[in-house]
Structure formats: C-alpha cells, structure tokens
Amino acid sequence: MTLRHFKIFLKVYDEGGMTRAADKMHISQPSISQAIRELEEHYQARLFERLGKRLFLTAAGQELMHYARHVISLTNQAESALRGYSLHSPLRIGATLSIGESVFIPLLRRLKEKVPEQPIFSRIHNTATLEQYLLQDELDIALVEGNIESEYLREIPFLEDELILVAAPGNKDVLTKDEIASCDFIMREEGSGTRNLFEQVMREKKLTPHVVGVYNNSASIKQAVMANLGITALSRKLVEKEIGDGSLIRLTVPGIQFKRDFRLVYHVNKYITPSLKLFMEICQCEY
C-alpha cells in the first residue's frame, strides 16, 4: 500500500463519500473507487458500508483509520522535522471554552515569550470537537476539562478546578437538594466538559435539572444569570470577577461539589517537538 491509498481512504472517510473526496482531492471518482477497492482487496476486508447516500466505516475500516492517520502524521512530521519543524511549522494548540477564557491566553503568551520565532495556531472549541481534531491530526495538543473517550489519546493533569453554582443577587445563597432540583438552569451545549461534569454529578445525586437555556459561551450565560433568567454552574475562574463586584452570588448546596482537572491531551503517537515539550512544561509549571 502507498501513502496515496491511505490519503484517499482518509479523505473518503472525512468527507463521508467518494464524490466529495474526489472534489476535494481534484481527482476523478473512478480513481477514488479504484484506490478503495485496492485497499479492500489487499487487506481482504470491507472497509466501508453504504447507508443511503453516505459511506460508513466497518469495524475493519475503523481499525485501519487509526493506523492510516498515524502513518500520514509520521510522514508529515518527518518531512517537517527535516525542514526545521520546531521553528517554521505552526504549533497547533486547542483549548475548551472554560480554559480558553481563563488560563489559555496567559499560557500562549508565556510560550511566545520563550520562543518568539515559533508560529502558533490556536483554536477554542468544546471537548468533543477537540478530541476529533486530535485524532485527525488537526491539532498537536489540547487543553480540556471534559471526558476523553479515545484510547489513542494520552492525558496529563496540570491544574485543579471546580464548577460553582451562581445566581443573580437577591436569591438565596444556600439551597437544599430539593430546591436546586426546582431551579431553572442556563447551561453550556452538549459536548462541553462543563455540561458533562454538571450532569454527571446531578445524576449521582439523583437530581434532574430543569434546563431553560443552552448557550455555547460563558459570557452569554453570565448575562442571562445576571438578568435572573436562571442559575448556572461555571468554572470558578470564570466568575471570580463577577462574584467580587457583586453582580453574581455563589450558591451552596450541602453535599454537592463539582471537582475536576484541567488536562493536557495529545495523541499517543505524537512526536514531541522541543516547542511542544516546552509548552507542556509551561502548563505544568505555571499552575
């Protein structure tokens, strides 16, 4: 098998079909079909199943996908390393919204101070999306607080955090479990680590929150809570200022805590360049 076979296979998977893969790669669809057929004949296994107009990976295809991404990633890294990878290719770093709005920018600034010649590409998204970016080699490392599902990703804790419940001034600041179950909640979107932790703890306490709003950024959530449209659970680091100036109050529910770790996540096969190693050390030392 050649690198071309693997690249075509991955593009068909990423685009969900051979026609879109052919358009993206600027080659004919028969050439795409032939490459997939040659792969299946070589490995003597069906790699895709067609359901409706889309193609879906079989179990064998799932297994090959991880190896193919690793092979392509290693090839790209080898080429980049020989061309001065650590100083000329961007270090691609992701972070979740909670981390992005608290410690991410200071960490990036610290890295830039250490190696000003290192290009940096950064992006902020929820945990589930960042996990996919790491698996698809679209990020070198990500800072997350949510659960990671893939066995192909390695996690290193670097900072303890907790969610706290906050409300508009004038509300009771100590609630019972029955009272918290009857409150209206403004929450992050599904796939968010903050949302996942909150729901996990509430399930453990046999509580079902009444969600009246779902926003994908904490600034809008805080504004909604300040307007007394509901209460929320956010990282303590994101609401310290508002609690300090009195625009939000912290709520306490005896017996309920939302503890978690911020973690560095990267692919188990990722080549750790000097710049990537330095960034990981900064994260672990700064906090």
Q: Domains of the chain by range and CATH?
A: 3-82 (1.10.10.10), 85-159+261-286 (3.40.190.10), 161-260 (3.40.190.10)
Q: What gap in Å lies between CA 18 and CA 38, rounded to an integer?
A: 14
- What is the total residue count of the chain? 287
- Per the CB < 8 A criterion, the answer to whether 67 and 47 are in contact is no
Q: Which residues contact 193 (CB under 8 A, 6 or more apart)?
A: 96, 98, 126, 127, 144, 145, 146, 147, 260
Query: Which comes out higher in pLDDT, residue 251 or 66?
Result: 251
Q: Write out pLDDT tens, residues 113-156.
A: 999 989 999 999 999 999 999 988 899 999 999 889 998 999 99
Q: Write out pLDDT tens, residues 28-80.
A: 999 999 999 999 999 999 999 988 777 889 999 999 998 998 898 888 777 76
Q: Write out pLDDT tens, residues 10-24.
A: 999 988 889 989 998
> What confidence score (pLDDT) does residue 208 get?
92
pTM attached to this predicted model: 0.66
Q: Which amino acid is at 255?
A: G
Evaluate if residue 84 carries a pLDDT over 80.
no
Tell me what percent of the residues of the chain surpass a pLDDT of 90: 72
pLDDT interval class at 82 (50, 70, 90): low
Evaluate if residue 89 carries a pLDDT over 80.
no
Number of alpha carbons in the 13 Å side-chain half-sphere of residue 20: 11
> What confidence score (pLDDT) does residue 16 get?
87
